[in-house]
Chain A
Amino acid sequence: MFLQLGWRNIWRNRRRTLVILTAVVIGVWSMIFLGALMRGIADQFVRNGIATLTGHVQVHEKGYRSDPAVQNSIENPARVEAALTAVLPPDAQWVPRVRVSAIASNARHSTGVTMVGIDPPREAAVSFIGGAITEGRYLESDDPYGIVVGQALAERFDTHLGYKLILMSQDTEGEIASRAFRIVGVYRAEMEATEKQFVFVTLPAAQEMLRLSHGISEFVVLLAEHGEADHVADTLRAELPAAEYEVNTWQEILPMVSAIMKIYDWFIFLWFLVVFIAMGFGIVNTTLMAVFERIKEFGLLKALGMKPWWIVRGVLVESFCLLILGMAIGNAVGFLSVLVLSGTGIDLSALAAGMEYWGMSRVIYPHIVGQDVLMANLVVFILGLVVSLYPAVKAARFTPVEALAHT
């Protein structure tokens, strides 16, 4: 009957209840929806980082990361390949790459780029490049002079499919190496900076140009889950001699992404608190008004023999009803709005330049994380009841005689 009493009491002032209920619904919705949006941004941020040639785990020759020169390539890739084959889970993919800094030039322009020599079919399963071609075609395995460039670079160089692009770098003997490639494909990436930075050629073409023989700059592993990276890296470290090879996870290679993920965690929590504080004042105000309107009634309840604690409980039950109803509607609206937008995403290409600065994608897909939903609901529910304690205790403190005399 206490629950029934609480439920009926909150509807005594229908308009006031609807106003505070709306505040709770909007609060919970904004916690869930904006939380999902932030998770979507963070998730996309990590995906972009991993898909933009980083992968989950990388293997390099010792010293390559501090000096990514062609001389620091892996000379004996068979050993690493054997370790990868032995250690990786069956659903993991790995690719070898040659990756060096180079100068790209045509008749009009020249700029610094990163030349990436890839095994085209295998690379397509690991990084973004396989699905990013917007003009022309992707590289083929036997494509000694084919090159794929980013759209932004092509525009900057005022060049097109079929045109030549000269790449110049330093070979293993310290001599200038150059080769003329013909543009076979143009790709688009999430970020313009990627399109300007990376040009792709086949692995044999890069090795030949740089006189690398079978040398490889890096092995990149893509796993089914982000969380497997540490374990796989540890296993690989155990397989490969530390004096010759370096094994790094994506968190180590992209420390800023890891840091931003942590910042997002805190940001979401702070967002929840800010929303709650605004909502909390509304809850206290409504409950206080409801209590002060019924002073005489509380006097009656005490006269009938209700203990102060029971009165506190009675007021809390009213807040409980309000919070549960608001949370149920807020969650439903939150899940529904995320569901609607998770398919199409939110296209923010109008803000692309500004967003790119922060490493964000053009399209954001909100992504609900169970832990965030749980935290949002717990924050609203627990803190909602905590702030209701003040009016509840006030109600319990009226003496029956004073309260019954109240008009």
Chain B
Amino acid sequence: MAMVTCTKVKKAYQQDTVAVKALDGVSLSIKKGEFVAIAGPSGSGKTTLLNIIGGLDSADSGRIVVDGNVLNTMRQSQLAQLRLHKVGFVFQAYNLIPVLSAQENVEFVMLLQGVPPAERRERARAILDEVGLGGMYDRRPAELSGGQQQRVAVARSIVSDPSIVLADEPTANLDSKTGASLLEIMKQMNEKKQVTFIFSTHDQMVMDYARRLIQLKDGRIWEETVRKG
């Protein structure tokens, strides 16, 4: 079953008087539980594609379906609901809420979903334990290293059992050891919870971890590789 289907997706940005094509007719299909990397040089359109799949941005044309929802026809409030319940995000710059502790950051999405406090607390602590941050529940982002912050971000993205996690260059700000450890955690989550992971990256290590690699260039898919085993 396809978790994400993009058909002839186009997106252009206006830069002064010139229209720059970010995506130029991208079509792809990603199945549930896949661990996919979208790679390409800067400006190739990978972040734009991720944003469109996540409902953060809209396509100029084409059709995008995520877990059975046709994004093109959805209103902003519906897209917000979709992001809240079905999509988890991991950003390059961690993007944690600085005034909340690690646990509170993880709880925040569940708070928006209306999960009761006791259950929120239990689930947040359990997932922080899983990503190796047991005992650091009360630390604020400023008291954590970059790798630890990104683990909190991964915990936040996964804690509400989304259908899909979109990670925009998650290892870009991490050293290779920390990056590898983070990828290992995400891979474990992918295998354990059968959550679909889609990364945008130009980090070779991330590409090596991915089971499927989609390479973009000038807004088009120019190569796709599926690793076996």
**Are A and B genuine complex partners?**
yes
Residues of A within 8 A of B (CB): 1, 5, 8-9, 12, 296-297, 300-308, 310, 399-401, 404
Q: Is the Cβ of B108 less than 8 Å from the Cβ of A1?
A: yes
Contacts of A310 in B (CB 8 A): 112
Instruction: For the complex, give the distance between the alpha carbons of A301 and B95 in Å.
Output: 10
Instruction: For the complex, give the distance between the alpha carbons of A304 and B95 in Å.
Output: 11
Q: Does B21 belong to the interface (CB within 8 Å)?
A: no
Contacts of A404 in B (CB 8 A): 56, 91, 95
Q: Is the Cβ of A297 less than 8 Å from the Cβ of B56?
A: no
Nearest-Cβ distance from residue B69 to partner chain A, whole angstroms: 14
Instruction: For the complex, give the distance between the alpha carbons of A191 and B111 in Å.
Output: 67
10 interchain pairs, CB-CB under 8 A:
A297-B98, A300-B91, A301-B97, A304-B83, A305-B82, A305-B109, A306-B112, A308-B76, A400-B57, A404-B91
Q: Does B84 belong to the interface (CB within 8 Å)?
A: yes
Contacts of B104 in A (CB 8 A): 1
Nearest-Cβ distance from residue A11 to partner chain B, whole angstroms: 8
Q: Is the Cβ of B91 less than 8 Å from the Cβ of A304?
A: no
Q: Does B80 belong to the interface (CB within 8 Å)?
A: yes
Contacts of A400 in B (CB 8 A): 56-57
Contacts of B109 in A (CB 8 A): 304-305
* Complex partner residue of A305 from B51, B81, B97, B99, CB under 8 angstroms: B81
Number of B residues with CB within 8 Å of any CB on chain A: 26
Q: Is the Cβ of A1 less than 8 Å from the Cβ of B111?
A: yes
Instruction: For the complex, give the distance between the alpha carbons of A319 and B81 in Å.
Output: 27
Q: Is the Cβ of A304 less than 8 Å from the Cβ of B89?
A: yes
Residue of B nearest to A407 (CB): B93
Q: Does B217 belong to the interface (CB within 8 Å)?
A: no
Instruction: For the complex, give the distance between the alpha carbons of A333 and B108 in Å.
Output: 38
**Contact flag A303-B54 (CB < 8 Å), given A5-B99, A404-B91:** yes
Contacts of B107 in A (CB 8 A): 1
Instruction: For the complex, give the distance between the alpha carbons of A8 and B112 in Å.
Output: 18
Q: Is the Cβ of B97 less than 8 Å from the Cβ of A300?
A: yes
Chain B, interface SS category: helix
Q: Is the Cβ of B99 less than 8 Å from the Cβ of A9?
A: yes
Residues of B within 8 A of A (CB): 51, 54, 56-57, 76-77, 80-85, 87, 89, 91, 95, 97-100, 104, 107-109, 111-112
A/B pair count, beta carbons within 8 Å: 57
Contacts of A9 in B (CB 8 A): 99
Instruction: For the complex, give the distance between the alpha carbons of A246 and B83 in Å.
Output: 80
Q: Is the Cβ of B99 less than 8 Å from the Cβ of A307?
A: no
* Complex partner residue of B80 from A5, A296, A300, A307, CB under 8 angstroms: A307
Q: Is the Cβ of B84 less than 8 Å from the Cβ of A304?
A: yes
Q: Is the Cβ of B54 less than 8 Å from the Cβ of A5?
A: no
Extra A-B contacts (16), CB below 8 Å, given A1-B111, A302-B80, A404-B95? A1-B104, A1-B107, A5-B97, A12-B98, A296-B95, A297-B95, A300-B95, A303-B56, A303-B83, A303-B89, A304-B108, A304-B109, A305-B85, A306-B84, A306-B112, A404-B56
Between A12, A296, A297, A303, the greatest number of chain B beta carbons within 10 A of the residue's beta carbon is seen for A303
Nearest-Cβ distance from residue B123 to partner chain A, whole angstroms: 15
Instruction: For the complex, give the distance between the alpha carbons of A301 and B98 in Å.
Output: 12
Contacts of B91 in A (CB 8 A): 300, 404
Residue of A nearest to B57 (CB): A401
Nearest-Cβ distance from residue B49 to partner chain A, whole angstroms: 12
Residue of B nearest to A7 (CB): B99
Contacts of B95 in A (CB 8 A): 296-297, 300, 404
Instruction: For the complex, give the distance between the alpha carbons of A300 and B157 in Å.
Output: 12
Nearest-Cβ distance from residue A46 to partner chain B, whole angstroms: 53
Q: Is the Cβ of B99 less than 8 Å from the Cβ of A12?
A: yes
**Contact flag A305-B98 (CB < 8 Å), given A1-B104, A1-B108, A401-B57:** no
Nearest-Cβ distance from residue A3 to partner chain B, whole angstroms: 12
Contacts of B108 in A (CB 8 A): 1, 304
